[in-house]
Every structure is written in structure tokens, then in C-alpha cells.
């Protein structure tokens, strides 16, 4: 057994300050002499003929299993086999379905029962759910930032340093407001609690249907037309009607129906009045409404106006004469 003392590595005799040779009686590589282990390089031979040098850094022992396991996980076949043994079959699909199910449970019934959702395919529904949840998250984050960053008049928790800048006077003024704020908060909480007790249930089911039920129900309720593989939207129908007026082209019944079916559409009545005025010369005219009363066309409802235009377009298609020229 050989021990080297000093900063050398044992290869150069000039670097050796201490050299001792003795038999390893115990056979376990121990050294009985006492010296500084920081400057020692120990070399001994094991029973199998292997040579070991010194006491390796603990980080070396920690990195060896990690690198070995990393090399194993780099093999896709070994990684798939490990996951199968650890989690069983179908672990990826179950985790994905649970994640989508949690997102669906956070949606309101108005969104789940909408006609637009019913006309979408499976992938379109998943993408719509993702966009809806992302938009809600962004709005909540924006409100939180505004609430944290908005400065208040009295330098309160909302931000600002008004109370600190005014010194003792500002602190006294803030302290005087605390009883009033506490009373207002208590009264508001009491009124909200009373309103919650008297509020009628909305009839919403306790359990929200999972994503599979929503997709199967949506596939049965195909209510939107399909043109060139894409659903007709109210905005697209509005653009087509405006283009038809500009080019003096024919109007489509399905476009008017799509515009009427939309729950919200900016400029819908103005567009229908423009069609009635420029295509059918109804400017300043009165039409008959329920009860035999006469009303100006500008004062009737959107649905009634849309029905009149649908009748006019249908009559034009039956007669084959086409609409009258556009009035500029």
C-alpha cells in the first residue's frame, strides 16, 4: 500500500514529501498513520485487481446515477416501458381527459348550450374551450393588475403615497375613516347575505356534463350551414350582404336568417334598413304590424324587419325578375 503526501499526483518524485510502504494486513484499505487528508492521495488495489484512487468527490457519486438514468430515459422505448410499469395503460389519455373535464366544469351553461357550440366539431369545441378559458384568465389578471396598481385618493391599500406624504395629519384622517368603512362593509355584507337567502334557484344542474357528453350532444345538433367546409357566422353573413349591396348582386336568404339568428350583432338594424331602402324602396314607408296598426319601417323590431326582407327576397327568387336596381 502506498500513500502520497503533498499536492503532487505521485507521478513526479520531486512532488513527494512523504512516502511509506507497508502491507495491508486488514485488507480493507485503511491507513493507521495520521496526516492531513486534504493533501493526501491514497492508492490501493482491491481483491479483484482494480485500482482505486483516494476518496472521490461526493458529487461524483451523485452524478453517476443521474447520468445513467438520463441516458435510459433518452431511449423512447425504455421510457414508455417505465411509464407503463409505473402508471399502467392509458395514463396519458386519462390525464388529458381529466384536464379537459376540469376546464369544462368551469364553463357556464349558457356557453355549453349555445347554438354556435352545437355546430362545431370535436377539435373546434376543444379549441373554443381553450380560448374561452384563456380569455377569462387574461381578464382576471388584468383586473388584478389594475386593482394593485391603481392609486387611491387617500393613499390606501390601492396604491399611492398620499397618506404618507401628508404626515401625521394624513394618518389621523385615515384613522377617522376606519369606523365608517367598517360599518359600510358590515351593512353591505348583511344585505348580500339576505339577498342570497331570498334568491330563487336558477335550475342549474349540480353536475356539469363532461366533455364527452357535450361533444356527443353537439354532434347531434347541427344547426349551422356548412359552406366550403366552414360554418357561416353572423359577421360573415353581414359582410356578404354589404358586398352584395355594393356590387348590386343578389341577396341570399340564409345570410339574412343568419343575421337575425345572432344574439348580438353591431349595426344589424342599420344594415337591414339599408337593404330595405336601397333594394326595395321602403324609405319613409309604413308597414302593418300586429293588431292591424301601421308603423314606420324605422320603428318596427329587427325580427319584423327581417321577415319583411325575407318575403321580398323569396318573391324575387320565385318571379325570377331579380331585385330592383340599387338606389344611391
Both 48 and 95 in a single domain? no
The stretch 298-323 carries a mean pLDDT of: 80
Both 126 and 194 in a single domain? yes
Boundaries of domain holding 217 = 90-147+164-223
Give me the pLDDT at residue 323, please: 55
Asked if residue 159 lies in contact with residue 149, where contact means CB atoms within 8 angstroms, the answer is yes
Summarize pLDDT for 311-321 with one digit per residue, the tens. 888 887 776 65
Do the domain assignments include residue 132?
A: yes
Both 257 and 172 in a single domain? no
Do the domain assignments include residue 112?
A: yes
Q: Of 208, 213, 236, 211, which Cα lies nearest the Cα of 224?
A: 236
Mean pLDDT of the chain: 69
Do the domain assignments include residue 311?
A: yes
* Percentage, residues of the chain above pLDDT 90: 0
Do the domain assignments include residue 71?
A: no
Number of domains within the chain: 3
Do the domain assignments include residue 325?
A: no
* CA dist., res. 41 & res. 278, Å (int): 100
Give me the pLDDT at residue 208, please: 54
The stretch 248-255 carries a mean pLDDT of: 86
Asked if residue 256 lies in contact with residue 309, where contact means CB atoms within 8 angstroms, the answer is yes
CA 218 to each of CA 99, 119, 222: distance values in angstroms, whole numbers, following the listed order: 20, 6, 7
Summarize pLDDT for 217-230 with one digit per residue, the tens. 555 444 444 433 33
Q: How many CB atoms lie within 10 A of CB 99?
A: 11
Both 312 and 262 in a single domain? yes
Summarize pLDDT for 43-81 with one digit per residue, the tens. 444 445 555 455 555 555 566 677 788 888 889 889 888
Both 217 and 231 in a single domain? no
Both 194 and 251 in a single domain? no
Q: Of 300, 301, 307, 322, which Cα lies nearest the Cα of 257?
A: 307
Do the domain assignments include residue 246?
A: yes
* CA dist., res. 301 & res. 78, Å (int): 68
Both 94 and 213 in a single domain? yes
Summarize pLDDT for 9-50 with one digit per residue, the tens. 444 444 444 444 444 444 454 444 444 455 445 444 444 555
Both 274 and 299 in a single domain? yes
Q: Of 103, 149, 108, 148, which Cα lies nearest the Cα of 130?
A: 103
Summarize pLDDT for 149-179 with one digit per residue, the tens. 654 444 444 444 444 445 677 677 777 777 7
Give me the pLDDT at residue 224, please: 42
Which of 202, 223, 244 is the last residue in one of the domains?
A: 223
Most confident of 60-64, 75-79, 96-100, 191-195: 75-79
Both 251 and 313 in a single domain? yes
Both 111 and 217 in a single domain? yes
Do the domain assignments include residue 79?
A: no
Length in residues, the chain: 328
Decide if pLDDT at 272 tops 70: yes
Asked if residue 44 lies in contact with residue 57, where contact means CB atoms within 8 angstroms, the answer is no
Do the domain assignments include residue 236?
A: yes
Both 20 and 105 in a single domain? no
Place of cell 512532488: 15
Both 263 and 238 in a single domain? yes
Q: What is the pTM of this model?
A: 0.30
Asked if residue 31 lies in contact with residue 42, where contact means CB atoms within 8 angstroms, the answer is yes
Amino acid at each position: 500500500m502506498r500513500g502520497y503526501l503533498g499536492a503532487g499526483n505521485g507521478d513526479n518524485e520531486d512532488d513527494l514529501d512523504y512516502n511509506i510502504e507497508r502491507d495491508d494486513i486488514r485488507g480493507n484499505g485503511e491507513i493507521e498513520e495520521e496526516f492531513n487528508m486534504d493533501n493526501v492521495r491514497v492508492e490501493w488495489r482491491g481483491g479483484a485487481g482494480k485500482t482505486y484512487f483516494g476518496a472521490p468527490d461526493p458529487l461524483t457519486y451523485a452524478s453517476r446515477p443521474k447520468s445513467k438514468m438520463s441516458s435510459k430515459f433518452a431511449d423512447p422505448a425504455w421510457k414508455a416501458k417505465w411509464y407503463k410499469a409505473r402508471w399502467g395503460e392509458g395514463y396519458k389519455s386519462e390525464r388529458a381527459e381529466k384536464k379537459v373535464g376540469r376546464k369544462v366544469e368551469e364553463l357556464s351553461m349558457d356557453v355549453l348550450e349555445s347554438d354556435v357550440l352545437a355546430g362545431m366539431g370535436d377539435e373546434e369545441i376543444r379549441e373554443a374551450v381553450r380560448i374561452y378559458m384563456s380569455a377569462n384568465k387574461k381578464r382576471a389578471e388584468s383586473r388584478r393588475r389594475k386593482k394593485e396598481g391603481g392609486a387611491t385618493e387617500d393613499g390606501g391599500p390601492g396604491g399611492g403615497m398620499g397618506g404618507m406624504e401628508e404626515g401625521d395629519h394624513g394618518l389621523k384622517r385615515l384613522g377617522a375613516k376606519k369606523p365608517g368603512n367598517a360599518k359600510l362593509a358590515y351593512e353591505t355584507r348583511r344585505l348580500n347575505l339576505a339577498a342570497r337567502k331570498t334568491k330563487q334557484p336558477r335550475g342549474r344542474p349540480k353536475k356539469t356534463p363532461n366533455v364527452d357528453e357535450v361533444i356527443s350532444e353537439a354532434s347531434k345538433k347541427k344547426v349551422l350551414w356548412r359552406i366550403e367546409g366552414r360554418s357561416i357566422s353572423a359577421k360573415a353573413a353581414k359582410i356578404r350582404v354589404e358586398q352584395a349591396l355594393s356590387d348590386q348582386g343578389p341577396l341570399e336568404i340564409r345570410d339574412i336568417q343568419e343575421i337575425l339568428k345572432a344574439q348580438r350583432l353591431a349595426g344589424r338594424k342599420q344594415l337591414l334598413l339599408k337593404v330595405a331602402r336601397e333594394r326595395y324602396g321602403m324609405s319613409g314607408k309604413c308597414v302593418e304590424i300586429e293588431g292591424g296598426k301601421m308603423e314606420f319601417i324605422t320603428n318596427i323590431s329587427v325580427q319584423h324587419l327581417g321577415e319583411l326582407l325575407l318575403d321580398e327576397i323569396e318573391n324575387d327568387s320565385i318571379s325570377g325578375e331579380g331585385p330592383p336596381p340599387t338606389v344611391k
